[in-house]
Amino acid sequence: MISIKRWNVDLFVDEQEEEGFTYAEARLHTNDETHLVGRGRARLAAGDRPVPEIGAELAVARALSDLAHLLLDAAAGDIEQMTGASAHPRL
């Protein structure tokens, strides 16, 4: 029987226009106890026009990348726990 699991990622974006930063969080919720939070930020460079969509895209991409690395680390820890051997999975 095929077992389909549903995992959800919630994305939160906070634009701090006065500071010139956009912050993002990517929160992973799985069917078990795994709940990871990736974080990212983008900074408006001096002289750039403020385009909120670009800041959000960069911050979210960085949060998702951080989340991917956290999930990979969690998988490595699980592999090591199961096998007793060092694990180094890669993206």
Q: How far apart are CA 26 and CA 54, in angstroms?
A: 17
Residue range(s) defining the domain that contains residue 50: 8-83
Q: Rounded to 5 degrees, what are φ and ψ at 37?
A: -130, 115
Q: What is the pLDDT of residue 32?
A: 83
Instruction: Report if residue 91 sits inside a domain.
Output: no
Q: Which residues of 33-58 are buried (b: 16+ CB within 10 A; e: fewer)?
A: eeebebbbebebeeeeeeeeeebbeb
- Residue 41: which CATH number? 3.30.160.240
Instruction: Report if residue 77 sits inside a domain.
Output: yes
Q: Are 63 and 56 in contact (CB under 8 A)?
A: no
Beta strands 8-16; 21-29: pairing state: antiparallel
Instruction: Report if residue 1 sits inside a domain.
Output: no
pLDDT digits (tens, 9 = 90+) for 23-64: 999 999 998 878 899 999 999 887 888 787 899 999 999 999
Instruction: Report if residue 63 sits inside a domain.
Output: yes
pLDDT band at 89 (very low <50, low <70, confident <90, very high): confident
Q: Domain tally for the chain?
A: 1
